Structure 1
Amino acid sequence: MGDPHRVGVVGLGVISRAYLDTLANHPAVSIAAVADLDASRSAAVAATIPGAEAVSVQRLLDRPDVQTVLNLTIPAAHAEISLGAIDAGKNVYVEKPLAVTFQDGGTIISRAASAGVRVGCAPDTVLGTGTQTARAAIDDGLIGRPLSASAVMVTPGHERWHPQPDFYYAPGGGPLLDMGPYYISALVHLLGPVRAVVGAASRLRAERVIGSGPRTGQRIPVQVDSHVTGVLEHANGALSTITTSFDGVATTAAPIEVHGETGTIAVPDPNVFDGEVRLFALGGSEWRVLEPLAGYAEASRGVGLIDLVRADGRRPPRAGGDVALHVLDTMTALLRSAAEGRRIELTTVVRRPALVPLTPFGDWTA
């Protein structure tokens, strides 16, 4: 298998622990360096990973032994760090979204292509057995010709649990750019690319109150729309409706449902890797739970980076930058549509990622 692929991690906030738990002991990769604006945090994390060094961001980008930069910074910094890594000749795997603006996302992809490096991007949750089993069932014809889908995410807001929630309500945040990548990425895997969108949006209140941590009770401004809904026209003719909200309380709706001529598939939360996939067939009397048909079993965050490393240029990574740019195109077009009151055609075209064969835990972790 050769030497492990050497990774440098930039950004050691809340989400980093999930990635490090997956990657730190994986034989395909080695965490060579970690960096954060908080040097004490970098040192503390490095102390838990044998062989990892705590360094500054610039030193990490300059290190010749780092082959891929795992970019876990806040969304506003995604483009800056990713472009710095690309300019240093390194691959990038970035937490979602790819960038705050479609222009920045396009620059990342085009500059990576010119530099001959690869780009991967979260979410990789859609590579687990939940979304992939649903995709396999659709591909196998279990619901006939797909006609439509619905995707619903309703929550009262991340400020209730996140100690530093400011970026969720700043430009580049909001429910669509934060949570939309999970749902739209899943819809692309399930139904293929999107060709046009129509959107609408609203904002419930101008301030939010932090509900946990040392800043409990502090008010933060809401600078973005906090409820976004829309219709996605897929290239295959299917129509998906999507609702992402930081203004609601709860919902009984399935996270995603896909409707076909002969059945409906209920898809589990695309923010997790597994969960029950249920089928209701035309003429049936009840929902039937499907056994896992595809996907990385018992997967965790970071499996998308493993998929990219093991692709090694021989095939497109399944959580690739091209898909992430298309998802970003879809989301920013929805927001533009809401602001301008018109249907917007997308400018990107992407191939549906390859199905993940059913891969037991011991196979993808070995």
Structure 2
Amino acid sequence: MGHEGGSTRPTRVGIVGAGAISGQYLDYFAEHGPAAGVLVTAIADLDPARAARAVDGRPGVRAATPDEVYAADDVDIVLNLTIPAAHAPVALAAIAGGKHVYGEKPIAATSAEARQVLAAAAAAGVRVGAAPDTVLGRGTQTARALIDAGRIGQPLAATAFFACAGHERWHPDPDFYYQPGGGPLFDMGPYYLTALVHLLGPVESVVGAASRSGAERVVGSGPRAGERFPVEVATHVTGVLRHRGGALSTVLMSFDVIGNELPRIEVHGTAGSVSVPDPNYFEGPVRLATHDSDGWREVPLSHGYAAAGRGLGLADLARALRTDCQARADGAVALHVLEVMEALLGAAEDDRARPVASDCARPPLVPESARVAVD
């Protein structure tokens, strides 16, 4: 298994942030890391006890401080699992230590911060990747392969819908979902918009509208059940994205819908339509409808990584480092998606179309029958 410079050692990962999501990453690397050439060496957290708990029972992994991870000789990539407000500061510290960075969504709290991160990485000669990596699974990638093969003709339009009644119904501490940087668009939008970029390419402009159903919500479960808390962001966002290739995507992201039967994502072309599974997951049924078919029919999953889980995007970044090629969960894509979301909210506020300043390359299709992110 090659690495940068032709070495056969694995790509070594230091994790900063030992919250709940870190367990999913650690489980993925424990199962699939050896095959993908990825090895976790250190875990850090501002709470040393939490870092110690995360390494317990994981041979060869040590607890450390964030600064020790940034400076460690046995860390090639820093996996940034901190809260969104800390994403940019942690990434910049890791880059200053000469490390590549892969982070949870969003890449930064604002696109201005994200640009600082990418500029620092370019100056240091390191790479940046970012979640979501669910789009690299067999669901979205199989749909992408159908589009690329011309099965729906020229893509004309897409719909992308996420709608629920709000996370306060099940989350015991839902406040942050309703603070700046939260809301349905910033919480779930990265999954859907990243999928649209993979399927149809980057976005050049947006129009939008947004609303907020109330100034307060009520915690529905846990020790705080019945407690009221403020809502500071739009809870229903809708709009149209104009892709640079000409297709129009209609999006709806809402915490104001009690029940719905909306499809997650559909892409429509001159010769047919493809139904894309929920982009919050790596797999799901992919269905195709064409002029000569009798309605929808499910197609076999073909493209995308079969050995999927949170951490797949970092493994793909490690593959890109070994082979000196483009990473699929790329920082430029994450910046672009963040700018699309900001533009959508800005368009809703201004009641006019907003251009999207950034561009990005459409990530390469994951090959057919791929299992893990290897050379």
Bin of the TM-score, shorter chain as denominator length? over 0.9
- Structure 2 equivalent of residue 229 of structure 1: 238
Q: Does 1:55 align with 2:64?
A: yes
CA shift for structure 1 position 61: 2.0
- Structure 1 equivalent of residue 14 of structure 2: 8
- Structure 2 equivalent of residue 339 of structure 1: 349
CA shift for structure 1 position 272: 0.4
Contact 1:263–1:279 under 8 Å retained in 2: yes
- Structure 1 equivalent of residue 194 of structure 2: 185
- Structure 1 equivalent of residue 27 of structure 2: 21
Where does 1:233-272 land on structure 2 (aligned, <5 Å)?
A: 233-272=242-281
- Structure 1 equivalent of residue 324 of structure 2: 314
- Structure 1 equivalent of residue 340 of structure 2: 330
Q: Distance in 2 between matches of 1:166 and 1:5?
A: 37
| Structure 1 letter corresponding to 2:363 | P
| Structure 1 letter corresponding to 2:24 | A
| Structure 2 letter corresponding to 1:154 | A
- Structure 1 equivalent of residue 5 of structure 2: none
Q: Distance in 1 between matches of 2:226 and 2:244?
A: 46
| Structure 2 letter corresponding to 1:7 | V
CA shift for structure 1 position 17: 1.6
Aligned CA RMSD, in angstroms, stands at 1.6
Q: Distance in 2 between matches of 1:215 and 1:42?
A: 27
**Range that drifts further, 36-45 or 215-224:** 215-224
Q: Does 1:170 align with 2:179?
A: yes
Contact 1:297–1:358 under 8 Å retained in 2: no
Contact 2:169–2:221 under 8 Å retained in 1: yes
Q: How many pairs were matched up? A: 365
Contact 1:10–1:72 under 8 Å retained in 2: yes
- Structure 2 equivalent of residue 359 of structure 1: 369
Q: Distance in 2 between matches of 1:49 and 1:68?
A: 19
Q: Distance in 2 between matches of 1:217 and 1:48?
A: 39
Q: Distance in 2 between matches of 1:213 and 1:109?
A: 40
In structure 2, relative to structure 1, the CA distance for the partners of 1:43 and 1:218 (3 Å cut) is farther
TM-score by length of 1: 0.95
In structure 2, relative to structure 1, the CA distance for the partners of 1:165 and 1:51 (3 Å cut) is farther
Q: Distance in 1 between matches of 2:69 and 2:300?
A: 43
Q: Does 1:276 align with 2:312?
A: no
Q: What are the Cα deviations for residues 4-26 of structure 1, in whole angstroms up to 9, with x where unaligned?
A: 21111112222222111111341
CA shift for structure 1 position 242: 0.4
Q: What are the Cα deviations for residues 86-144 of structure 1, in whole angstroms up to 9, with x where unaligned?
A: 11111110101111111011111111111111100001000111100001001111111
In structure 2, relative to structure 1, the CA distance for the partners of 1:227 and 1:132 (3 Å cut) is same
Q: Distance in 2 between matches of 1:14 and 1:213?
A: 17
TM-score by length of 2: 0.93
Q: Distance in 2 between matches of 1:160 and 1:359?
A: 39
Q: Does 1:80 align with 2:86?
A: no
Q: Does 1:99 align with 2:122?
A: no
Q: Distance in 1 between matches of 2:30 and 2:307?
A: 17
* Structure 1 unaligned spans of 5+: none
Where does 1:286-297 land on structure 2 (aligned, <5 Å)?
A: 286-297=295-306
Q: 2:360 aligns with which of 350, 353, 363?
A: 350
| Structure 2 letter corresponding to 1:64 | D
